Structure 1
């Protein structure tokens, strides 16, 4: 376990020694004595937060909405700067699920989350309580990661895969870091635009154009955190100009690129989520084989 210090933020962070047996799953463990109003920055993944400590994290959303304990949220959690996290003596395993495999793991499509933060108890019933108890009883972080991975493997193998055409389109967007032209995706998979847009939205929880913008923003935001200038980031990340980057960052976070560069939620990624770079673009014929269960990062 390593200690992350960023301004007033001091967190203990643990990482699994082995990757998940389900491609498209990454996880990290956090122990935070005082979680003081953390802005949740949108990320192109479904977030599964499994808490088990003496305290309990609280997510404050728009219009006074509030969730405590273990939660699930669709891709783009926190858009507009609308979700803040807080709490004391928080211990949790945070799992990031590729939208391609999230439906199988969760038992519902990310689209059914409708951009909201949902209590895991509401989604999984008593299984959520049993998971919490087992995580609390586990003697080490590596045991907790192994327990969590076994849970994810079991649920994933029992769940239905997304359409291989949808999986391929998502891979294409992620592999290009959001620089894919969405108009050509349907032609490349041999579907009509209407069919791809409908299946993509219903199975992954967001339309292709939104997915492109979210993936592009995520890449740009991490470059800002790394200390790169906004003008250079805008040019390299596919924005028309620096003002375009500024508008996109404001839309996703409710704050400026300069403020995003100092967000602990993003700065911790180098410790908590090593190797987060997008994979190379997959081969179309491989991903469109019938019966293929998609692999995603």
Structure 2
């Protein structure tokens, strides 16, 4: 079971969704450009941002709950640069010390939901970086070249890249790759074949799609698609 809903009003623009997940088998989690606050039966941690797939293993009957941050919004709320969390799972006590321990206790007891926990930190969080947000929007809209998209933002390239890495967790080129792959994920159920999917998602050709899917999921396109979300049961190629 995996389900997600729109974030509550206080988190609009900060979170992409609020979700719940339970599985009897390991799940393959693939890159989506986001960080998540995750609450399990025994702990609370921040996940991502990922550059390749990882396997989530839960105890029988365990239900995970979480908040998926919108790209570029987690770092300000969490108080740590996103690239420091790249490809990592960090518990709240590791991240915030005693404050993290107290918050973990409340989240595990059910006294506080993940969404309310995030909302409680918003008053102290700085506003989103407009340059990073503008570049993310251009890349998500289908830009094929980072340099061209970045040139439209109006910030020096080196400075923009540094701010982008701190906010997103990796550079614009990697984000473009992840964003294009996620576009393919959303289009896959309606695509008549892999060549058509590659063209619709913005890949140069089917071979380009194949290389990126292998790198990001560990599977061939035929083994991975048609996946309807960023979470898919582990399958062998």
Same fold (TM over 0.5): yes
How many residue pairs end up in the alignment?
230
In 2, are the aligned partners of 1:225 and 1:267 still within 8 Å (CA)? no
Aligned residue for 1:164?
A: 130
Give the drift of 1:214.
0.7
Cα distance in structure 2, aligned partners of 1:226 and 1:20: 34
CA-CA distance at 1:264 after TM superposition: 7.9
SS in 1 for 2:57: strand
Cα 1:154–1:118 change in 2 (3 A) is: same
- Does the CA-based 8 Å contact 1:234-1:242 persist in structure 2? yes
Q: Look up the match of 2:49.
A: 75
Using a 3 Å threshold, how does the CA distance of structure 1 residues 24 and 162 change in structure 2: closer, same or farther? closer
Secondary structure of the corresponding residue to residue 36 of structure 1: coil
Return the match for 1:85 from 56, 70, 77. Answer: 56
- In the other structure, the counterpart of 2:143 is 179
For the 8 Å contact 1:28–1:95, the answer to whether it is kept is yes
Relative distance call for 1:209 and 1:12 in structure 2 (3 A) is closer
Aligned to 1:100: 72
SS in 1 for 2:26: strand
Which residues of structure 1 form unaligned runs of 5+? Answer: 1-10, 57-68, 269-297
SS of 1:189 mapped into structure 2: coil
Structure-1 residue corresponding to 2:13: 23
Correspondence for 1:110: 82
- For residues 179 and 233 of structure 1, do their structure 2 counterparts lie closer, same or farther at Cα, with a shift above 3 Å needed? farther
Secondary structure, aligned partner of 1:218 = helix
Separation in structure 1 between the aligned mates of residue 157 and residue 25 of structure 2, nearest angstrom: 44
TM-score (norm. length: structure 1) = 0.68
Q: How does the TM-score come out when normalised to structure 2?
A: 0.83
Instruction: Report the RMSD for the aligned CA atoms in angstroms.
Output: 2.7
Q: State the alpha-carbon separation in 1 of the partners of residues 27 and 129 from structure 2.
A: 36
Task: Quote the offset at 1:150 in angstroms.
Answer: 2.8
Measure the CA separation in 1 of the matches of 2:97 and 2:105: 14
Q: Residue in 1 aligned with 2:235?
A: none
Q: Find the counterpart in structure 2 of residue 122 from structure 1.
A: 94
Alpha-carbon shift at residue 213 of structure 1 (Å): 0.9
Q: Matches of 1:103 and 1:164 in 2, distance apart?
A: 14
- Structure 2: unaligned runs, 5 residues or longer: 233-237
User: SS of 2:73's equivalent?
Assistant: helix
